[in-house]
Amino acid sequence: MTVAFNVVGQTSDTDTTSAPGDASDWGGLCITYRSTARTALQLGLGDKVDYDMEYGNPYVTLPVTNKDTSLQFKWSDFKQPTWLSIRALLISGEKAAKQLVSVQFRMQDRVGAYDFNICAIGPYNGGCPERCSEIVSQRWLSHDSISISDIPDQPYTGDSICPEVVITDHHKFGSKNAEDRLVLGSDYTVKCENNVNVGTARMTIFANNKGYYGVAVKNFKIVVDEQHYGALTVYKDQYGPWAVIDGEYKDKDTVKVEKDIEVNSVRLDREFTPDAYSTIVLPFAISTNNIVGLSKVLAFNGVSQEQETSPKKVEMTELWSDNSGLKSFTLKANTPYIIQTSRADLTFKGSVTIVKTGNSNSSYVGPWEFRGMYSYKVWDEDDPERAVAYGFAAAEEGECKVGDFVKVGAGAYINPMRAYMIYSGDVPAPLKPAMIESLPETMDVVVVDESGEQTTVIGTLDTRTGVIRMSRDHRVFDLNGRNVKGKPEAKGAYYGKKTKF
């Protein structure tokens, strides 16, 4: 006859197979018992391993005794029997302890009536009592009176993680206290394994055999670490850090990075309209060689007026295009641009450094500011910017079409990682209404070449309706507004008449 005590218990709620545990830290076993039959204390290693050993498990012999007896055995004391065949799996007591499934009390004698009592089994030098009568309020960790709380998911740190576990004794055996929380060190110790990388980690709980006995196992998860900076989230696991930018983020907290962060990759979750223009500002520098889907990069060059009676124009300077002679251009961190995309998304290749965010993400030209945004903004009814701010529409929404440069009204909003234009010049309060009123109904949005002599109209800004009517043929104009088929011959004649506003 065999009485077995599982060290860990079943593998899971759905898998009733007994799970192994590493009990090598115990050093061995102690036992308090009495038995009038010939008895052995043996190490169970599970059905498959026991079969491979031809059921010749490592064991020690217990003396026959009719009185309470307390004994201790080191793992090295457990030996396999000598009758095994050459095909049997050989395993030492020390090795068996590392994969221990159960401790077995095996009685084998002639047919008859025998008396036995197993009072306690525990680790070597674990305090098994001398007599069974000394066991009054001891608990096994597997008993119904003991509850072990689930361990919350732990974020990846790159270091070993062995979190706190709450073990409660609900005293179903009539203690005066309603419940009691076990104390780490005095009541139990823990050992954690597979506890560095993202995945399932294992905690083995060892009772200290001073009122509590046995071993329990609790699994917990190590999950990807997430650091949130508004629309920017930086993730990290054993393969390194990466970042994701939510281009449609609508919470009010801003992207605020206190120190530089190196990441292996960045993904921008934002939908663009192919062949249309959009605004963008990024918290990292990146070369156009490492951006897939980008066809043109423009910089804000201010608002100009050729003559006092001429219409004002919003100027952009082309910094790079995919069909220009310039092989590459590096977009600076925290700097707003207007870009043209060739498809509905942008893909960033390679690693980047997300830089510490500063107080300004803007480009200034005279009294005009091209302001990059790292937070979601809504212009309320009483927002002082409403009369002087213009937003650029990169996607169709309602009556606003692709390419619209919209003068903001109550309820207008802008998502992070975009930019808008605003008049930020100092104007005395009495003159401010007149200045606002003087803003033109329409302004051409033009791209100026390096010489300043030739412009390409990409759209017309209606300051009243906020609409930019995109030029479909990208016609070329001089700065006096004349349509030309090639470069003007009188170099510099047109640039000299232009006045920045």
Segment 94-139, tens digit of pLDDT: 999 999 999 999 988 888 888 888 888 888 876 677 777 655 555 7
Q: Which tokens sit at 327?
A: 């092989």
Q: Are residues 38 and 183 in the same domain?
A: no
In this structure, which amino acid lies at residue 152? P
Domain boundary among 111, 135, 159: 135
**3-class DSSP state for residue 75?**
helix
Q: Are residues 77 and 171 in the same domain?
A: no
Percent of the chain that is helix, strand, coil (3-state, to 5): 5, 40, 50
Number of domains the chain contains: 3
Between these two residues, 23 and 424, which has the higher pLDDT value? 23
**pLDDT, average across residues 452-477:** 48
The label of the residue with tokens 């309060």 reads 429
Q: Are residues 400 and 475 in the same domain?
A: yes
Asked whether residue 428 carries a pLDDT value surpassing 60, the answer given is: no
Between these two residues, 222 and 127, which has the higher pLDDT value? 222
**Range with the poorest average pLDDT among 90-94, 265-269, 431-435, 475-479:** 475-479
**Range with the poorest average pLDDT among 199-208, 326-335, 363-372:** 363-372
Question: Among residues 403, 370, 419, which one has the least CA distance to residue 474?
Answer: 403
Burial of 265 (0-12, 13-18, 19+ CB in 10 A): middle
**3-class DSSP state for residue 77?**
helix
What is the per-residue pLDDT for 151?
96
Q: Are residues 155 and 123 in the same domain?
A: no
CATH number of the domain encompassing residue 88: 2.60.120
In this structure, which amino acid lies at residue 136? V
What string of DSSP letters covers 317-351? Answer: EEEEETTSS----EEPTT--EEEEESSS--EE-S-
**3-class DSSP state for residue 93?**
helix
Q: Which tokens sit at 455?
A: 């412009």
What is the per-residue pLDDT for 132?
74
The label of the residue with tokens 């329990």 reads 216
Q: Are residues 293 and 155 in the same domain?
A: no
d(CA 229, CA 253) in angstroms, rounded, equals 8
How close are the terminal C-alpha atoms of the chain, in Å?
100
d(CA 11, CA 209) in angstroms, rounded, equals 24
d(CA 411, CA 386) in angstroms, rounded, equals 10
Q: Any residues with CB less than 8 A from the CB of 59 and at least 6 apart, and which?
A: 40, 41, 42, 43, 78, 79, 80, 81, 106
**pLDDT, average across residues 167-179:** 63
pLDDT classification of 478: cutoffs 50, 70, 90: very low
What is the per-residue pLDDT for 325?
74
Q: Any residues with CB less than 8 A from the CB of 468 and at least 6 apart, and which?
A: 392, 393, 403, 404, 405, 445, 458, 459, 460, 461, 462
DSSP, res 162: -
Q: Which tokens sit at 121?
A: 């089994």
Structural domain boundaries enclosing 179: 138-223
Q: Are residues 130 and 149 in the same domain?
A: no
d(CA 291, CA 285) in angstroms, rounded, equals 11
Q: Are residues 294 and 373 in the same domain?
A: yes
**3-class DSSP state for residue 495?**
helix
Mean pLDDT of the chain: 80
Q: Which tokens sit at 55?
A: 């059921």
- Specify which residues 26 forms β-bridges with: none
In this structure, which amino acid lies at residue 159? D
**pLDDT, average across residues 26-30:** 90
Asked whether residue 477 carries a pLDDT value surpassing 70, the answer given is: no
Per-residue HEC secondary structure of 198-252 comes to CEEEEEEEEECCCCEECEEEEEEEEECEEEEECCEEEEEECCEEEEEEECCCCCC
- Cβ–Cβ under 8 Å, residues 145 and 171: yes
Q: Which tokens sit at 72?
A: 């201790």
Q: Are residues 335 and 418 in the same domain?
A: yes
Quick count: other Cβ atoms within 10 Å of Cβ 151? 19
In this structure, which amino acid lies at residue 342? S
The label of the residue with tokens 């007591």 reads 93
d(CA 251, CA 280) in angstroms, rounded, equals 18
Domain boundary among 223, 243, 264: 223
Whole-prediction pTM value? 0.67
Provide the greatest CA pair distance for the chain.
123
Cα dihedral 267→268→273→278 (10° resolution): -130
Q: Are residues 218 and 275 in the same domain?
A: no
Cα dihedral 69→70→75→79 (10° resolution): -10
pLDDT classification of 433: cutoffs 50, 70, 90: low
Segment 343-387, tens digit of pLDDT: 999 999 999 999 998 766 778 787 888 888 898 888 788 877 766
For the ranges 5-19, 112-126, 255-269, 398-412, the maximum mean pLDDT occurs at 255-269
d(CA 471, CA 480) in angstroms, rounded, equals 18
Q: Which tokens sit at 390?
A: 């213009």
Q: Are residues 188 and 335 in the same domain?
A: no
**Range with the poorest average pLDDT among 134-143, 257-266, 270-279, 346-355:** 134-143
Between these two residues, 423 and 27, which has the higher pLDDT value? 27
Counting Cα atoms < 13 Å in the Cβ hemisphere of 470 gives 14
Q: Are residues 73 and 142 in the same domain?
A: no
Q: Are residues 129 and 29 in the same domain?
A: yes
Domain boundary among 177, 194, 223: 223
pLDDT classification of 486: cutoffs 50, 70, 90: very low
